[in-house]
Amino acid sequence: MAFTLPQLPYAPEALEPYIDAQTMQIHHGKHHQAYVDNLNKAIAGTEHENKSLEQLIASAGSISPAVRNNGGGHWNHSFFWQLLGPGGGAPPSGALLEAINSTFGSLDGLKEKVNAAGTTRFGSGWAWLIARDGKLEVSSTPNQDNPLMDVAEVKGKPILGIDVWEHAYYLKYQNRRPEYLGAIWNVINWAKVAENFNGAK
């Protein structure tokens, strides 16, 4: 069964002023759609065409570069849209906040670690908060790789992921990636992050 582009769970302008509507429209409707289309082409007529996205991701490195890049792009973006929301909602609390404080000292400590991972990722990629062996950890991946892949240097269950490809921020922030990383915390959907954290236990 062919993969399809998921709808955004909010209007493209809902994340203003931190992420502009034009960026969201292009990022979702053009970039993410291209990953979906190219993934479908890559698996059509092969032994992989009936596999789930999670199955493809888990062995992406041994299937093909096209599946690795486009399957990763589809999974990463589908995950990313859910992590954003207008106003960001309530800050983390409960077990998630306890784990953040235990690992990073504070929520600000977590933000600093994630921002550093995103800022120092050379070229395109992602910054991640993952659960690994029952603990939280920050990592980053190049291109459209993610911590679920067989090729990941640091494997784990993604809790939070931030896109640091230039197409995620260039129209508004140009080459100021650190400014984008600072702003995106204003629209993080912590309820979804907590849901991911609870699911990873």
Supply angle C-alpha 27, 74, 156, rounded to 5. Answer: 115
**Is 74 known to sit in a ligand binding site?**
no
pLDDT at 1: 63
Question: Per the structure, how many domains does the chain have?
Answer: 2
pLDDT score, position 88: 77
User: Are residues 143 and 179 located together in one domain of the fold?
Assistant: yes
Q: Is residue 10 part of a domain?
A: no
CA-CA distance, 100 to 171, in Å (whole number)? 32
**β-bridge partners, 142:** 125
Closest CA to 77 of 117, 114, 24: 24
Q: List the domain range (segments joined by +) for residue 30.
A: 21-83
In which residue ranges of the chain is pLDDT below 50? none
Is 163 annotated as a binding-site member? yes
Give residue 151's pLDDT: 97
**Within this chain, do residues 68 and 112 fall inside the same structural domain, yes or no?**
no
49 shares a domain with 118: no
Assigned domain for 2 exists: no
Q: Are residues 190 and 114 in the same domain?
A: yes
- Spatial distance between the Cα atoms of 38 and 44, rounded to a whole number of angstroms: 10
**Are 106 and 195 within one domain?**
yes
